[in-house]
Structure 1
Amino acid sequence: MSTREAERNASAQQTLDILYEIATLLNTQLDKATLATCIGMVENGANPEALAAVIQELRREGGARDANR
Protein backbone atom coordinates (compact mmCIF):
# COMPACT_ATOMS: atom_id res chain seq x y z
CA MET A 1 0.00 0.00 0.00
CA SER A 2 1.39 3.37 -0.97
CA THR A 3 1.77 6.23 1.48
CA ARG A 4 -1.00 8.11 -0.29
CA GLU A 5 -3.41 5.17 0.04
CA ALA A 6 -2.52 4.76 3.69
CA GLU A 7 -3.18 8.46 4.32
CA ARG A 8 -6.51 8.21 2.49
CA ASN A 9 -7.52 5.17 4.55
CA ALA A 10 -6.50 6.86 7.79
CA SER A 11 -8.48 9.96 6.83
CA ALA A 12 -11.54 7.87 5.97
CA GLN A 13 -11.30 6.03 9.29
CA GLN A 14 -10.96 9.30 11.19
CA THR A 15 -14.01 10.70 9.39
CA LEU A 16 -16.02 7.56 10.21
CA ASP A 17 -14.96 7.80 13.87
CA ILE A 18 -16.11 11.43 14.05
CA LEU A 19 -19.41 10.68 12.33
CA TYR A 20 -19.95 7.73 14.68
CA GLU A 21 -19.38 10.00 17.69
CA ILE A 22 -21.95 12.45 16.28
CA ALA A 23 -24.41 9.61 15.60
CA THR A 24 -23.94 8.37 19.17
CA LEU A 25 -24.53 11.85 20.61
CA LEU A 26 -27.69 12.11 18.50
CA ASN A 27 -28.79 8.68 19.79
CA THR A 28 -29.27 7.26 16.29
CA GLN A 29 -28.69 3.70 17.57
CA LEU A 30 -26.58 2.95 14.49
CA ASP A 31 -23.50 0.80 14.95
CA LYS A 32 -20.31 1.72 13.14
CA ALA A 33 -20.77 -0.87 10.38
CA THR A 34 -24.32 0.25 9.63
CA LEU A 35 -23.25 3.89 9.67
CA ALA A 36 -20.43 3.09 7.23
CA THR A 37 -22.91 1.33 4.94
CA CYS A 38 -25.25 4.33 5.04
CA ILE A 39 -22.38 6.71 4.30
CA GLY A 40 -21.36 4.57 1.33
CA MET A 41 -24.93 4.54 0.02
CA VAL A 42 -25.18 8.33 0.27
CA GLU A 43 -21.79 8.74 -1.42
CA ASN A 44 -23.11 6.58 -4.26
CA GLY A 45 -26.18 8.75 -4.76
CA ALA A 46 -28.81 7.50 -2.31
CA ASN A 47 -31.13 10.21 -1.03
CA PRO A 48 -30.24 10.71 2.68
CA GLU A 49 -33.82 11.57 3.64
CA ALA A 50 -35.18 8.49 1.91
CA LEU A 51 -32.51 6.34 3.56
CA ALA A 52 -33.45 7.74 6.98
CA ALA A 53 -37.12 7.03 6.26
CA VAL A 54 -36.32 3.42 5.33
CA ILE A 55 -34.31 2.92 8.52
CA GLN A 56 -37.15 4.36 10.61
CA GLU A 57 -39.69 2.11 8.89
CA LEU A 58 -37.53 -0.98 9.41
CA ARG A 59 -37.23 -0.12 13.08
CA ARG A 60 -41.02 0.30 13.39
CA GLU A 61 -41.60 -3.06 11.68
CA GLY A 62 -38.97 -4.71 13.87
CA GLY A 63 -40.54 -3.25 16.99
CA ALA A 64 -44.00 -4.41 15.94
CA ARG A 65 -42.68 -7.90 15.20
CA ASP A 66 -40.95 -8.06 18.58
CA ALA A 67 -44.13 -6.92 20.34
CA ASN A 68 -46.07 -9.78 18.73
CA ARG A 69 -43.77 -12.49 20.05
Structure 2
Amino acid sequence: MKDFIKTEIESLDIKIENARAAVTKMEQSQIDERDKKTYEVLRAKISDWVTKRDRLLDLVISQVKSNGKL
Protein backbone atom coordinates (compact mmCIF):
# COMPACT_ATOMS: atom_id res chain seq x y z
CA MET A 1 0.00 0.00 0.00
CA LYS A 2 2.82 2.42 0.88
CA ASP A 3 4.54 1.84 -2.46
CA PHE A 4 1.28 2.40 -4.32
CA ILE A 5 0.65 5.69 -2.55
CA LYS A 6 4.25 6.82 -3.08
CA THR A 7 4.08 5.95 -6.78
CA GLU A 8 0.70 7.66 -7.15
CA ILE A 9 1.96 10.85 -5.49
CA GLU A 10 5.05 10.88 -7.70
CA SER A 11 2.89 10.34 -10.79
CA LEU A 12 0.58 13.17 -9.79
CA ASP A 13 3.58 15.45 -9.17
CA ILE A 14 4.79 14.80 -12.72
CA LYS A 15 1.33 15.38 -14.22
CA ILE A 16 0.91 18.61 -12.26
CA GLU A 17 4.35 19.88 -13.24
CA ASN A 18 3.82 19.11 -16.94
CA ALA A 19 0.34 20.61 -17.00
CA ARG A 20 1.48 23.76 -15.22
CA ALA A 21 4.27 24.17 -17.77
CA ALA A 22 1.77 23.79 -20.61
CA VAL A 23 -0.63 26.28 -19.02
CA THR A 24 2.18 28.80 -18.51
CA LYS A 25 3.22 28.42 -22.13
CA MET A 26 -0.39 28.91 -23.26
CA GLU A 27 -0.74 32.01 -21.10
CA GLN A 28 2.31 33.52 -22.76
CA SER A 29 0.95 33.02 -26.27
CA GLN A 30 -2.20 33.97 -28.13
CA ILE A 31 -4.97 31.53 -27.20
CA ASP A 32 -7.56 30.73 -29.87
CA GLU A 33 -10.94 29.13 -29.09
CA ARG A 34 -9.65 25.55 -29.40
CA ASP A 35 -6.66 26.32 -27.19
CA LYS A 36 -8.91 28.13 -24.73
CA LYS A 37 -10.90 24.92 -24.20
CA THR A 38 -7.67 22.93 -23.75
CA TYR A 39 -6.45 25.59 -21.32
CA GLU A 40 -9.65 25.34 -19.26
CA VAL A 41 -9.47 21.53 -19.21
CA LEU A 42 -5.83 21.61 -18.09
CA ARG A 43 -6.62 24.08 -15.31
CA ALA A 44 -9.44 21.82 -14.08
CA LYS A 45 -7.22 18.73 -14.23
CA ILE A 46 -4.48 20.50 -12.28
CA SER A 47 -7.00 21.35 -9.58
CA ASP A 48 -8.24 17.75 -9.44
CA TRP A 49 -4.72 16.32 -9.35
CA VAL A 50 -3.63 18.70 -6.58
CA THR A 51 -6.70 17.76 -4.53
CA LYS A 52 -6.04 14.05 -5.02
CA ARG A 53 -2.35 14.49 -4.15
CA ASP A 54 -3.24 16.45 -1.00
CA ARG A 55 -5.66 13.72 0.11
CA LEU A 56 -3.02 11.04 -0.40
CA LEU A 57 -0.50 13.10 1.58
CA ASP A 58 -3.06 13.55 4.38
CA LEU A 59 -3.57 9.77 4.40
CA VAL A 60 0.17 9.17 4.69
CA ILE A 61 0.50 11.75 7.47
CA SER A 62 -2.39 10.25 9.44
CA GLN A 63 -0.89 6.76 9.08
CA VAL A 64 2.50 7.99 10.26
CA LYS A 65 0.93 9.80 13.22
CA SER A 66 -1.12 6.75 14.21
CA ASN A 67 2.00 4.59 14.11
CA GLY A 68 3.85 7.11 16.27
CA LYS A 69 6.63 7.60 13.75
CA LEU A 70 6.29 11.34 13.25
Q: Same fold (TM over 0.5)?
A: no
TM-score range, shorter chain: 0.3 to 0.5
State the TM-score, normalizing by the size of structure 2.
0.41
State the TM-score, normalizing by the size of structure 1.
0.42
Q: Higher helix fraction: Structure 1 or Structure 2?
A: 2
**Larger relative contact order (CA 8 Å, sep ≥ 6):** 2
